[in-house]
Chains A and B, each alone.
Chain A
Amino acid sequence: MADLIDPTTAALLVVLLVVAVISLALALRNRLSFRIAMRNVRRGRWRTVLLILGLLIGTTIISSSLVVGDTIDQLIVQSAYQSFGFTDEGVFNQTPLGTYAPFPYSVYTSVAQSAASDSQIAGVTPEIVGQTQAFDHNDGVPQTALNLVGVNGNQSSQLGGFTTTGGGTLAGPAPGQVLIDQGAANDLGASAGHHLTLYVGGTIWNTTVQAVVADDDRGGFLGGGFGQVGTIFVSLPDAQMLESTPGQINFLAVTNAGSLIGGVGLSGAVAATLNQTLSTLPGAHGLKVHQLLADTVKLAASASTSLSTLFLVFGLFSIIAGAMLIVGLFVMLAEERKGEMGMVRAIGLRRGQLVASYYFEGLAYSAGSALLGILLGIAVGYGLVYAFAQLFGSVGLSPSQILASFTVRPASMLTAYVLGFLLTLLTVLATSTRTSRLNIVRAIRSIPEPPPTMGVYTRLAYGGVVLAIVGALLLVFTARGSSDISLPVLGGALTILGIGLLASRFLRNRLVFTVASVALLFWAGFAPISTSLLGDQHTGGFFIVFTEGILLVLGAILLYIFNSDSVVSAVSRMIGSRPSSVSIARIGLSNPSRRPGRTAISLAIFALVVFTLVVIASFGATLSANIQQQETVQTGGYTFAGFSARPVPDLVGAIANNSSLSGLYSRVVPFVSGGVLETVSGFPQNPFGDALYAAPAGLPAANDFYSSNTYAFSSTANGLSTPAVWAALRTGAAVAVVDASYGPSSGGGFGSFGAHPTVSAGETIALTNPETGMSSNVEILGVMSEALLTGIFVSPALAGTLGYHNQSTFLLTTASGVNPDHAAQVTKAALLPFGLILLNLPALVAQNLGFTQAFVGLLQLFVGLGLAVGIASLGILALRAVQERRSEIGMLRAIGFTESMIFRSFLLEFSFVTVLGISIGTALGILLIYGLAAAPGSAAAGITQVAIPWGNVALIAGLAYGLTILAVVGPSLRAARLPPAEAVRPTE
């Protein structure tokens, strides 16, 4: 229930209530209008069904995007909640090397005593948290990267017991034995009873697997739940023995009172209390309370919000398309009832009463369609989540876990209902107000409206002046700042449109709006123009796609509407010169120009949706192409990045001298490495530091990093070439390069735990070795394009100056024909005491590609829903056209048109609109992708080539066209089969 009354929901409820009260008051005051409206609702059952179906699309899209958002939120946030088991806060002192500094066990005793009297703390558990390598003697599998958690069973009760995979419960690991979680069991291929050897620091320990325990929130503990790394649990004394820290621990797990979710709310207060306690304790120097769960949940919620927003932004295209459909529906409804409207006005109904009548009718449709829309939205949302599960199931996430996270929050549904309802109602109200301004005689006698008078153009000119001023102000005030790029782009577009409206008072419409639409297309679609005017300092994410998409579609539609006769005659010529074909083409192609507003709506709907689909597909293909193309750039030409827990003095020699390893690798590059603290102007120092690497300068050519890597730079100091940068790094004294995560396109800044500062090529920063305390200023020679091996690469001379001597990072390339998995297993086993972890770099690139493709597929599916709007739009237009053109159809039959000719002319008409809409959307989508690729920062983000997935684009176009034709076949047949005599009658 608390979920239902958050401030946004409360505000929406108030809005709903206000609408209800106003409507009730209006109904009481305008009973006649209300009665007419209700009769109209009941008057044509099929018309009402058709209207509601058309109107519910907007709500369905809002509702389904919120359902997807809720589910993603549930998936991410719930995973975050479970990632620490029952640990809310951790008390530890993390060193720059990433390890936890040990502290006396007495600190735990004191903290536990203090916590006993605190109602917000359920308990405190002492632990030793570290890393271990393990070798399974039963199956010969080594594993070099496992968490080690030392905890006593009797003290872990607050963290929950352990659940074995067989369903039993255990208090904790027995002395001399280990519990392993499912991750570790999978890594080692181990099960209960297997004999393991653990390598922790310099200690080698033989033990037995007591049981495999579930990766759930009870036995999860730190990092054991949904983490990527498996965990081995040992008793606390065994852990102290293994880490050589008798009488010491390095971690206190604090469990808050209340439920898992409720306890997070106490985190701030608990942290403050415990920090106060720690400050008074001897031996607690450097210890701090870290709000592990609260911080992780906050980050997860932020990530979830970003994803939900992405869906909503792409959904906006469909929502706008839905709103246009509503306008179209009510304009048609008003046209259909024009005679009636004229008649009721003639017998004394005031304009306000007429609007009120439409308002009440719209109210009934809106209320009903919004309700149906949210129900349909839930179904569509489930379909999307199902697709999400299938798509992402192949790249790491469990489909059942995703499906189990399917969530429909009442608050979201209320939001969808109110937004859908208001969207529909406001659109209906605006349309009704517009159409109620009718000339009574013309309405009754069905006389066409005369062309706009000069007075109309004068009013438009005034509106244009206002629009141009607002646009110019927006442009001027945001052009040079670092605001979202959408703002100045929108400002420029409003200025162009405003000037166009003003000019239409004095010049021919066709000339004015052709120029304005071309200007709009160039402004929104041709990046060099906006970049030269606005610079490249603006921020802005995917929202620009929405802004530019709307502007481009508007430009293209205006261009068509004011030049439709040229387009029609060009297409007519293409159709051929056979007299009967000419007659069909003339009828089919001319009709869309007859009601340009209606055609513009249909075109805009198709163009918007197809545009979005093409952008998403092309964006995904471009990313994929660039990832594929950049495999060599991302991996540097290496198969593995290796990290050892202990330094390997001579890995090159160790491999060369080991008969089982010597044939596996063609290149082995060792790096002197360690933690480093960076001081960058304008950024606070990251207390956790980062990684520093330096490759030796004098290795043989095959193993020489500087001449053999294929890494590239997104930017270099003074425009240095790539070989020049590596040459300078080999011999320089105070130079460095950084990976892409330091570059501006990665977002930079301390947004989250362990993030980098942003640095640029040519900038000077200070580096400090936290172990020796030695510092040096270095010039950044380049920002690399890779982001798999993150950190700072310095010259070997500088590494020596700062006191780095240990080789614990490596890059290795497997020899031709060697299976990387086999090579990794053999290498890890041979070098087990060093705790070597090997990351398969091409596999990581492939995994990124998989995620990208899965996500693009999901977005396409979601946006594809918008096609339903376009198809519905043309289907309804076709039905309406049959109704409206009865007498024309009759006349055509009278002059010799056969049924088949009528059918073909209808199909041609709707094919023309559909193909034109699809073509506009496709062309603009491709234009935008090229524009984005040409924008500054794209190269830095790794976009060097554009890939258009023509097969995918053809499928989108084919589906859109095919489904639309299916929708209009029925009405076209109906038109063809109209009995001529019935059709030519002047009244229906």
Chain B
Amino acid sequence: MTDEIVVLGEDVWKIYGSGETQVTALHSVSVAIRRGEMVAVMGPSGSGKTTFLNCLSGLDAISKGRVELEGQDIHAMDDRAKSAFRAKRTGFVFQSYNLLPVLTAVENVEMPLLVSGVPVREARKRAQAMLEDLGLGDRATHRPSELSGGQQQRVSIARALVSHPAIVWADEPTGNLDEESAAQVTGILRRLNHDLQQTIVVVTHSPDMAALCDRTLQMHDGHVVT
């Protein structure tokens, strides 16, 4: 971990709807995450964890405030710049894997590389290497429907990491997994953080996962309470 701040949120608000139906999902959230840090975001259902992740990663617009990723104001970027930033500098892991069912594991993994302009052969090489690193070398040509839940989540982690992003955002990565697979995925994330100094922000309900993180942000009612 270094002292360099890669994620900086200042007075971030997220308000849905208007009038009587108005819901404030994030209340003046301010947070700073250092490069190489692994941070868990915990809290009860509806506390705003996923909204926090979406707003800070730039997936969702914010109502007020400022978010800087590697020093760049992500919400000031246009769609093209924001997409390019996401392709090159961030990776996402979702609870439901969100792999493209029509593509093989290696095709899924190389997709961010292709989007960011890496030549096809180079992309394939790096994707294959990433899968092998995560113990899925022999499953590279399998489609998601032919993989177990744990394997699918490892493919989605490979996809998130293949472009060597500055930050990996993970939303309940073990939520759909059995205990053994969950432990495996948690171990992988921790190893990547430890070995590669990969910054990881993970929304989780799992105390085991949180225990492995450098620190935990507790959320309640749209506020970061600790």
Contacts and interface: CB of A to CB of B under 8 A. Distances in A.
Nearest to B85: A896
Given A887-B94, A887-B96, A981-B60, 12 more contacts: A579-B118, A580-B115, A580-B117, A586-B111, A587-B100, A892-B111, A893-B86, A897-B115, A900-B80, A980-B59, A981-B59, A984-B59
Q: Which of A594, A888, A892, A981 has the most CB of B within 10 A?
A: A981
A577 B120 contact: yes
A894 interface: yes
Contacts, number: 100
Given A583-B111, A583-B115, A891 B120 contact: no
A580 B60 CA distance: 24
Interface string B119-130: 110010000000
A894 B86 contact: yes
Interface string A106-136: 0000000000000000000000000000000
Interface string B29-63: 00000000000000000000011001101011100
B123 A895 contact: no
Contact of A582 (B50, B102, B120): B120
A452 interface: no
Contacts of B103: 586, 590
Given A579-B113, A895-B87, A980-B59, A888 B79 contact: no
For the complex of A and B, the 7 pairs showing the least CB-CB separation, nearest first, are A896-B87, A981-B60, A590-B102, A981-B54, A891-B98, A583-B114, A896-B115
B87 A891 contact: no
A979 interface: yes
Contact of A579 (B94, B96, B102, B123): B123
A890 B84 contact: no
Contacts of B95: 986
Nearest to B14: A981
Nearest to B94: A984
A498 B62 CA distance: 61
A239 B32 CA distance: 117
Interface string B89-109: 011101110101111000100
A594 B100 CA distance: 10
A524 interface: no
A361 interface: no
A591 B102 contact: yes
Nearest to A891: B98
B86 A896 contact: yes
A919 interface: no
A31 to B, nearest CB: 36
Interface of A: 448, 577, 579-580, 582-583, 586-587, 590-591, 593-594, 887-888, 890-901, 979-982, 984-986
A888 B94 CA distance: 11
B159 interface: yes
Contacts of B28: none
Contacts of A981: 51, 54-55, 59-60
Nearest to B169: A894
A contact patch SS: helix
B116 interface: yes
A748 B10 CA distance: 93
A587 B111 CA distance: 10
B88 interface: yes
Contacts of A579: 113-120, 123
B59 A593 contact: no
Contacts of B54: 980-981, 984
A900 B114 CA distance: 15
A888 B115 contact: no
Contacts of B94: 887, 891, 984, 986
B83 A887 contact: no
Nearest to A894: B92
Interface string B155-167: 0000100000000
A890 B58 CA distance: 12
B141 interface: no
B83 A898 contact: yes
A901 B80 CA distance: 10
20 contacts: A579-B118, A579-B120, A586-B111, A887-B96, A887-B98, A888-B100, A890-B98, A891-B98, A892-B100, A895-B87, A895-B159, A898-B79, A898-B83, A901-B115, A979-B61, A980-B54, A981-B51, A981-B54, A984-B92, A986-B96
A899 B80 CA distance: 8
Nearest to B91: A895
Contacts of A895: 86-87, 91-92, 111-112, 115, 159
A514 B39 CA distance: 54
Interface of B: 50-51, 54-55, 57, 59-61, 79-80, 83-84, 86-88, 90-92, 94-96, 98, 100-103, 107, 111-120, 123, 145, 159, 171
A586 B90 CA distance: 22
Contacts of B55: 981
Given A586-B111, A896-B112, A979-B60, A593 B102 contact: yes
Contacts of B86: 893-896
Q: Which of B86, B88, B95 has the most CB of A within 10 A?
A: B86
Contact of A896 (B84, B120, B171): B84
Contacts of A980: 54, 59-60
Contacts of A586: 103, 107, 111, 114
A582 B114 contact: yes
A897 B59 CA distance: 12
Nearest to A577: B120
Contacts of B88: 896
Given A580-B117, A891-B98, A898 B80 contact: yes
Nearest to B117: A579
Contacts of B80: 898, 900
A891 B102 contact: no
Contacts of A594: 101-102
Contacts of A986: 94-96
Contacts of B117: 579-580
A594 B92 CA distance: 24
B98 A888 contact: yes
Nearest to B82: A898
Contacts of A892: 100, 111
Contacts of B113: 579
A637 to B, nearest CB: 65
Contacts of B87: 895-896
A980 B103 CA distance: 21
A984 B98 contact: yes
A20 to B, nearest CB: 44
Contact of A448 (B60, B84, B145, B159): B145
Contacts of B98: 887-888, 890-891, 984
A897 B114 contact: no
A890 B169 CA distance: 14
Q: Which of A591, A898, A979 has the most CB of B within 10 A?
A: A898
A580 B100 contact: no
Contacts of A887: 94, 96, 98
Nearest to A983: B59
A893 B94 CA distance: 13
Nearest to A589: B102
A582 B123 CA distance: 11
A592 to B, nearest CB: 9
Nearest to A898: B83
Nearest to B160: A895
A612 to B, nearest CB: 32
Nearest to B78: A898
Contacts of A979: 60-61
Nearest to A895: B112
B83 A893 contact: yes
A899 B79 contact: yes
Contacts of A896: 83-84, 86-88, 112, 115-116
Q: Which of A594, A894, A899, A984 has the most CB of B within 10 A?
A: A894
A894 B111 CA distance: 11
Nearest to A450: B145
B81 to A, nearest CB: 10
A678 B115 CA distance: 83
